[in-house]
Amino acid sequence: MLIFSQIMLAAASIFAALLLYRQPQPLTVHSKTVASIIATCCMFILLSALLPLVITGNSEEKLVLLRIFSNLQYYLALPLMSSVILLTCLGKNYSKGAWGRWSLVLLASFELCRRALVGEQYSMAIAIVIILSVAIGLLYHRSTLSAIALPIAAIVSFTTSILLFSPELSIIDLSDQARYNFSLAVSLCLVCLCFGQKLKTLTKNST
């Protein structure tokens, strides 16, 4: 079951990234930047899902490598993705360089909190912030019931995977790697589908 969930999460990461580029018209320059950053986040999630399948053994070097990519998923990919979703939906435009600097801030914050022995508190804070960011971003400027139905489903799925099942970010002690992989796979696709509707194309795109 765990192996199947890892394969499903890897496949969903690719599909979610492709959803951002599935538009009726070409994306604007800014939208391409945003889509590429989210796609990069999806690739980090893909790697964290696939590496345990190809790296076997319990040597210290292998365990460290797996831990690095696991941390990249939890403390870089998910926070960066949620930041991009929130600020883009609020109409804020930033360059790749600015997002790169923000990525360094996220990594430095994690390392500082880990060294200060407040890693658990930092994980809880990150979990809450990324969920709120995704929720606000996806619901922003959506007023009708039909317009918010799919975003709400995406938010509920994303919240469930992070708060309940995540081995690192779960606030309620129900963490389970397989269920986390399954739920994150579903929520990634839903979130990227909803966020793709917010991306601007070369022709005026109403959402």
**Cβ(86)–Cβ(72) below 8 Å:** no
* Contact in structure between 204 and 25 (CB atoms under 8 Å): no
Average the pLDDT over each of 72-76, 171-175, 191-195 and give the range with the smallest value.
171-175
Please state whether the predicted TM-score (pTM) of the whole model is above 0.85. Answer: yes
What share of the chain in percent tops pLDDT 90?
71
55-64 confidence digits (pLDDT tens): 877 788 888 8
In 73-184, DSSP assigns E strands to: none
Q: What is the per-residue pLDDT across 82-134, written as a single tens digit (0 to 9) for each?
A: 999 999 999 998 999 999 999 999 999 999 999 999 989 999 999 999 999 99
Q: Phi and psi of 127, rounded to 5°? A: -60, -45
Are 31 and 85 contacting, i.e. CB atoms less than 8 angstroms apart?
A: no
